[in-house]
Copies of this chain bind each other. A is one copy, B any other.
Amino acid sequence: MEKKNKLSALESLFKPKNIVIYNFNQKISFFVEGFKRQGFDLEHLYLISSREDEYSDLKCYKTFDEIPAVTIDLLILSVRRELLIKSLEDILSEKKVKFIHIFTAGTGEFDELGREIEYHIKELLDNYKETRAIGPNCMGLYSPRGKIAYYSSFPIEVGNIGLIFQSGDLHSKMIKFGSKRYGLRFSIGISIGNCVDIQISELLEYFNHDNATDIICVYFEGISPLYKKEGKILFNVLKNMKKPVLFMRGGRTKRGQTAILTHTGALATKSNIWSALYEQTHAIEIPPSLEELIENAYLFSQYIPRVKDKFNNIIFPANKRALVILWSGGFGILATDTLTELGLELPYFKGETLKRLKKIHPIKIGSLSNPLDLPWITHRKEFVELSKAAIDEDINLVIIETDAWRAKDDDRFKGYYNNLLELRAYVESLNKIFIVVLHQYPSESLAEFTNKLIEDKFIVYPTIEAAAKSFLKLYEYGKKAIWFNKESN
């Protein structure tokens, strides 16, 4: 019960009824712009500033006690680090505050004095059990369900990807690049910083129970020296998750760990712990690349809601065999090498499948082999017939490598596009994965065509390699998840 209460308490963090920005100034006006863009009710946004009288039609209160609200759901605290303790004392003695986002940087990641300040914050918060905090040294919250975001560029639509990041900038870039490249949408994103109070494990548990969230991405740098037990807790939480956690760890290398000391000041952990974590828990290791994290989140977030039943059981790909359909022999050979080197298989056509294909293949030049080379006919009905004929139970992934089309309103394009739609529907009805590979270069018509595909919920990657790597993570997670399931039954 206690846990459930704790989790539901977090609702006020993600859907605050009111917000105070403490020590508001122009430099942090992006918060206000973000709330506005999301449609947060500005009547319940209170700015406190000793210098400013108003900002963009919003009155600035001189002191905290002038604010009409009795209980504050979320307070954003932005003062110099020297003033942190004093400000917190003033705030907490004045009103009930449920959540404090400590925006201030230059604490634990900076120097000995900073670490002392963090220690005192923790001490202080221990006396106010009803007040929780995120930070310091973090950008804070993006929660479209609560109509809050710290940047106005973040999408207002709610999605199924949860984010917990120990870097504000990577958090922002994940949302920006992810939404603009692939149309990613997020349930909640938290830039969590140095973790003096709320820990990553707690947020993971919240996401685990959150129906809107299908997949969680974590950017991890380390554990606060104030919460040395968090390592063990995190391990257990990750073990008991019911959802995949794409886990990108800054400081995989020793050289990277020294870089972390100056960023969040977190404790480094031993590398053998990590192999155990990736083996025994729902965490999936992502290499140190924001691009790869985004690419993986893309496939997981598109795939899971499609194959999840009402008991939240997910059907995962049972093998890693792929069919590649393309328009060029050269790309086909590169695709074959790339997929094979990454550990996928491209089965040859045989038995009934080969018979079916031979019967209907209209062109004498070109081969009846996987990759299936179907030039010139992508806009004709035969394209779908042939592709369907090539898909048998042996296959779990269908990749179609295509070229830029001018998305015009002519019959040729319509034929081609309807073929893609029909083929995807067929592949997905068999619970297989359908991916379009579309190499990117600066071109208006290519950009337009890519956008159309993404809007229509196609999964579109710029290279075979990116597609294959994401598929493999999904496949490997599936194997692990099935194994965990067996164990717990």
Contacts and interface: CB of A to CB of B under 8 A. Distances in A.
A337 B250 contact: yes
A439 interface: yes
Given A181-B442, A328-B167, A334-B170, A105 B365 contact: yes
A262 interface: yes
A340 B253 contact: yes
The size bracket of the interface on A is 35 or more
A128 interface: no
Contact of A180 (B250, B256, B369, B441): B441
A371 interface: yes
Nearest to A330: B167
A100 B363 CA distance: 27
A450 B288 CA distance: 24
A367 interface: yes
Contact of A330 (B106, B169, B332): B169
A43 interface: no
Nearest to A178: B441
Contacts of A440: 440
Given A180-B442, A289-B465, A463-B291, A263 B337 contact: no
A358 B332 CA distance: 55
B180 A340 contact: no
Given A173-B439, A181-B441, A289 B251 contact: no
Interface string A297-339: 0000000000000000000000000000001111111101110
Interface in A140-183: 165-171, 173, 176-177, 180-181
A10 to B, nearest CB: 24
> How many copies of the shown chain assemble into the complex?
2
B465 A256 contact: no
B260 A333 contact: yes
B442 A250 contact: no
A484 to B, nearest CB: 28
B365 A110 contact: yes
A336 B251 CA distance: 8
A341 B252 contact: yes
Contact of A263 (B288, B332, B345): B332
A259 B180 contact: no
A259 B289 contact: no
A177 B173 CA distance: 26
A463 B256 CA distance: 17
B170 A251 contact: no
Interface string A188-213: 00000000000000000000000000
A41 B395 CA distance: 53
A219 interface: yes
A365 B219 CA distance: 23
A346 interface: yes
Interface string A333-360: 1101110110001100000000000000
A4 interface: no
Contact of A259 (B109, B263, B369): B369
B439 A263 contact: no
A255 B340 contact: yes
A91 interface: no
Contacts of A79: none
Contacts of A463: 289, 291
Interface in A238-256: 250-256
A253 to B, nearest CB: 4
Closest 7 A/B residue pairs (Cβ) = A167-B330, A169-B328, A170-B330, A288-B337, A250-B333, A262-B367, A256-B337
17 contacts: A105-B365, A165-B330, A166-B330, A167-B328, A167-B333, A169-B328, A169-B329, A169-B331, A173-B328, A250-B330, A250-B334, A252-B337, A253-B341, A255-B337, A256-B333, A287-B338, A289-B463
Given A253-B340, A442-B451, 18 more contacts: A169-B331, A173-B331, A181-B442, A219-B330, A250-B337, A253-B336, A253-B341, A255-B337, A255-B346, A256-B340, A259-B369, A259-B371, A288-B333, A288-B337, A288-B338, A289-B338, A289-B463, A290-B439
